[in-house]
Every structure is written in structure tokens, then in C-alpha cells.
Amino acid sequence: MAHITEASERPILKSKVFLYVTEFFSGLSVMAAELGASRLLAPYFSSSQIVWTIIIGTIMIALALGAVFGGRWADRDPNPDKLYMRIMVAAVWISLIPLVGKYLILLISGMLIVTVSTNFLIIAAFVSCAIIFVPPLFLLGTVTAGLNKFATTSLEDNASVVGRLSACNTIGSILGTFLPTFVTIPAVGTFVSFLIFSGALLVIPLIYFISIRARRVSCAVCALIFAITSCLSPLTGFAFWENSSTLAYEGESIYNYLQVKNLSDRTILSTNVLFGVQSVTMKNQGLTGMYYDTALAAPALADHADSALILGMGTGTYARQLKQYYPDMKITGVEIDQKITDLAGRYFDEPSSIPVSTYDGRAWLAASDQTYDVIMVDAYQDITIPFQMSSTEFFTMVKGHLNPGGVMVVNMNMISDGAGSINEALTDTIASVFGERNMLTADVPSTTNRELFAKTIGEDKSTKGASDIKRDAKAIPLRSVTYMRTGSEDLKWYMNEVAERFEEVEAPGSASTILTDDKAPVEVLGMRAIDQLIAKEAGPYREILKTEGIGGLLRAVQ
């Protein structure tokens, strides 16, 4: 058998142990690269199920093609040198991803944003993933077939050899799944994680070639490239274009990419470098000019304003606003990301007197029997909308935690209207729980935010009758209640302006999309909103590209 001769000429392969070690590190690197892909793409395209589907699908295609060609190449030319050379190239490629990947993503996005009219997120994420991750994972996909060729000495133990190789690959894949998520990414970040796992993979072919005294120049070049990218990659972050004088922090948690910018009048937190701001703190007391101000209508619309729960505490901006205007209000916060809570205390002056639980908002509600006058749902990050916090079951749970006459306010990040829009689906879903007569919406000027208010029926019928959000939201009663409870002239007159922006909600129709735990296509609906936003913002540039070509487009963006 020709392949036995080839392998027997390599002393390092005789015991088969090195083959199993190779398979282990191949599986480890594949899964680590997949987890790393999600973190590399998330700051630009979100971490939605759509992006995960693209990553998994693209990588599976690469591995499948690698398996086919790897088997063919192993049968045609059973030379282990070629296999270990492919592993070395894959390792170096993966090590270059943290240095080059972010530039490729922005280049691809910039090209597509002025040429693609629909499904931008899908296309941009797919092209980025295909260019960055398919080549190295295709090469790693050839490993198992080649190793099987070299490890098999007879048909009598062929199945046992395949089983051991499969076990080594699986064990490596398990570690490659858990280590990045729970150890390396939280500890040292995505970029260094790529370097750790690519470096571990690179050691295998280096040991192989050094042991047989071959490919010394190739080994030296690959080691040099790895050393260079190891030095340069950590020096720039995901948002490498940001002014270093204003960028106070850039890092990662288990859940998010995190960026804190310290501007002259405010401090802001972003979890996505392309889709805006998730939290802000103004350096001067007063109104923020953002959606938090409009959401301050909630305690004025409620029958009482003694307690509040914030699901999606973030850096505590809404809690600070409530404390400023309602100092006696008892406030509780829930935030799933402990790193954000840590940043809130470090950069955003989050009041230490407000308890914050590190928990998923819905799971926290399920474990609590407390009720509140105001519940703020602020857990939607652009198109990354947790489906479990968008369904009728969730809003029924929120309603059950409101006191009689209590108000829920939901921050809907994107103003996306019309049939099939995410806001229509969310509004109809909430209306199916609270009733459309007990709901109002208010768009926030100069932003893409919309606040939705929903009220439960109160009990104070002797003096006011049943709670009526539409009556309470009119300018005069809203101003009066606000001033009576806060004593603030500024907030009183701001509520007068909010009253003018209130819009009534229509009853859900027979064709309405009601989101449930079983069916909540929030990623697809959110993607449509992104397409609408891109079409609006990129429309002028697309017209320039069409009429003046690339030269005109380059002049326009300078």
C-alpha cells in the first residue's frame, strides 16, 4: 500500500499518537474559529440568529468541501507533507484574521451598502464570512480524510482508527466550544483568542516539519508572520477609526462587544460599531435629549409612582433620570451582562443605591413575585431583539407584575412602520395583551426610537373611575401630574411637548403578526427595518454611484 510507505518514512507518524493529536487540534481550531467568527461579525452585523445561521452554514459548507477534496487528494497523493503544509497555511490564515478581518468587513460592507437594496445584512455577513473563514476551514476540512489514510494500516482495524480520530476531533471541538466563550474571549478578547488557537494549531505542523528536517524556509516564514500579527493585532480594536482621545474603553464580555466614548457633553456606550448608541449619560443634570426623556411620561401616566423595574438596565441612564425627578421612587434594575454593570459604575456614575440583578429579564420576572408602578422594557439592541422578550407570553408576565394602574414603557429602537414591520408586530402583540385602548406610542424627535406605553386598569374608581391612559396623556393632566409629583418646571413643560407626540394604537387585525414563544421571527422583521434604514441613508450615494460612477462616489464621501 503506497500510503503506508509514505507514512512509514516519517518516524513521528509511526505510533499514530501524533495523528490523533493533529485531529484533536484540528477540531479545536475549527470550533474556536466558529465562535470567533460570531464575535468578529457581531460588532458590525449584530449577534442575531440570522448571523449565526450564516456563520454555521458557511463553515459547514467549507468543511464539507474540504472533506471531499481531502479524501480525493489523499487517495491521489498520500503524502503527509502536503497535509501538514495545508494545516500550517490554515493556522497562519486564522492568525491573520484579527489583523485583517475587520478591514475586510468594512470594505465589503461599504461596497454592498451602495449596491444592495434588500437583505443587506444577510449578503454582507455571508460575503464577509465566505472570504475570511472559508479558505482556512476548507483546508482544515481536508485533515480527517488525510489522517485516516495515514493511520489505517489494514482493513481489520480501519473502523477503530476512524472511531479514535472522530473521538479526538469531537473532544477538540468540545474544548473549542467552551474555552473561547467562557475563558479566552472574556479574559483577553476575540483578537487574542484567534492568536491563541491559531498558535496552538501552528505548533503541530512546525513540530512535524522540524522532526523530519523539511520545509525550513516555509516554517520560518509562517512563524514570522504569526509573530508579526501577534504584535500588531491587539493594537487596534473593532472600531479602529475612533479618536483615541475620546475612546475611554473598548472590550468584550460573554454577551457583547463594548465601547465607551467620553465626549464633551456625554458618555456613551455602544455594543455595535455600525448601529448606534445603546446607553448615554449626560454630564449636566437635566433632560438627555434622548428616548429616556420621553419614557419619563410613564410615572406620570401611572396611578402611582412609588416603584419602578427596569429590564435592560444598561448603564442606568433611565434609573438616574427617575432618581433625579422622583427621588423617593424605589427602583430595581435587571441587566444580563455583568460587564455592562461594571462599566456603569466605572464610567457612568450609576447610583450604588439601586440594586441590579445580573439575570435575563424574563427569567428574573418568572422568579419574582414583586409588583411595580412602572416597568421599563429596554432590552432591544437594534435588530438584536430577544425573542423571549417580545412574545405575548412575556408581555402577559410583565402585565402580571404591574400594580393596578401601572404602566409599561417599551423602547422600540427603530421607527419601522407599515405592513410586516417589526414595530407593527410588537405593537399588535402588546395590544393583544393590554388592549389597544390602553396603549399609546410616541416617536422620539431626531432619533430612530419609539416609546410604547401600555397601562393596566386601576382601582381608584371613587375619584377617577377606571384608569384611562388616553385621558391621562392629554397635555393638561400630564403636565399637572408631572409637576405635582416632581416639582420640576422643565419636566412639566417637556411633558406638554410629549403629549403632542402621543399616537393612538389601532386594534390588531385578522392578518396581524402576533409574536409568541413558538413563533417570533424578530430577526427577519428587524432585518427589514435595517434595509429600510440603509435605503434611506444610502439612497443619495447610490444615485451618485449610478450617475457619476466610483469616482463621484469617492469624491462624495471625502
| Closest to 386 in 3D by CA, of 443, 453, 336 | 336
| Closest to 375 in 3D by CA, of 433, 440, 456 | 456
pLDDT reading at 466 higher than 90 = no
- DSSP assignment string, 89-149: HHHHHHHHHHHHHHHHHHHHHHHHHTT--S-HHHHHHHHHHHHHHHHHHHHHHTHHHHHHH
Contacts of 323 (CB under 8 A, 6+ apart): 329, 331, 351, 354
- pLDDT tens, position by position, 137-164: 999 999 998 888 877 766 667 788 888 8
Annotated catalytic sites, by residue? 378
When pLDDT is averaged across residues 179-190 and rounded to a whole number, the result is 88
Separation CA 517–CA 521 (nearest Å): 10
| Closest to 514 in 3D by CA, of 393, 408, 333, 409 | 393
Q: What is the DSSP letter of 308?
A: E
- pLDDT tens, position by position, 379-427: 887 667 888 899 999 999 999 999 999 999 999 876 666 666 788 889 9
Please answer whether residues 466 and 310 qualify as being in contact, where contact means their C-beta atoms are separated by less than 8 angstroms: no
Which of residues 109 and 244 earns the better pLDDT score? 109
Residue 488, pLDDT score? 93
Please answer whether residues 352 and 331 qualify as being in contact, where contact means their C-beta atoms are separated by less than 8 angstroms: no
**Which residue matches cell numbers 528536517?**
213
- pLDDT tens, position by position, 316-337: 889 999 999 999 999 999 999 9
Separation CA 242–CA 249 (nearest Å): 11
Separation CA 358–CA 332 (nearest Å): 12
pLDDT reading at 187 higher than 60 = yes
Predicted confidence band at 486 (pLDDT cuts at 50, 70, 90)? very high
Q: What is the mean pLDDT of the chain?
A: 85
The β-bridge relationship of strands 307-311 and 372-377 is parallel
Q: Output the nine-digit C-alpha cell for 380.
A: 432591544
Please answer whether residues 278 and 314 qualify as being in contact, where contact means their C-beta atoms are separated by less than 8 angstroms: yes
Predicted confidence band at 1 (pLDDT cuts at 50, 70, 90)? very low
Phi-psi region of 418 (alpha: psi -120 to 50; beta: other; left: phi over 0): left
Residue 154, pLDDT score? 67
pLDDT reading at 541 higher than 60 = no
